[in-house]
Amino acid sequence: MTSFGDPAQWSCSVPALLLEAPNRPVSIDVGINRSAAHVLIEAAHNRRLPTFTALTPAHTRYLAAGLRRPRPTITLPALGRGLALRWLSVRPDTVAGDIRLTVEGSRTPLGRWRIDADRIAEFAAMLAKASSLLTRPDSPCERPPAEASAVAGTGFGELR
């Protein structure tokens, strides 16, 4: 990951297609921030910095489970650079079988990517692994979804 390096150097990537003119193959990286207990997702762009989002372990587990079985669009609160509020959406394309990942800022979309159907299970496994690295039973990082509540309704509790 270029935005944030985990001291343990754990990260994985999955190929994706950036959906902006012109469409081009890129990678979506998944990593972790152990000190803040966030799963990090970084997606490449054509001519600017990658789009960076941070999810709680509980939201990451929910997303991974949603990728394993078809369900409607999943939209989750996330954090961006400088703790900016972002929204991460994953929408299945029932015809093609792939998924569309969209990251939105407070006013505009920041990027859209397509992950092919044959890579969805790999992406879900990467998210599950990242979450599990942060949520060992003895880890102080774990925050149950019910408690991850109230910063302006974002789903984030206290950020470390």
Query: Which pLDDT band, with edges at 50, 70 and 90, does 136 fall under?
Result: low
Judged by DSSP in three states, 39 sits in strand
Top-ranked range on mean pLDDT: pick from 6-20, 46-60, 129-143: 46-60
Q: Which residues contact 95 (CB under 8 A, 6 or more apart)?
A: none
Domain 11-133, what architecture? Roll (2.30)
pLDDT at residue 109 tops 60: yes
Q: Average pLDDT, stretch 66-94?
A: 88
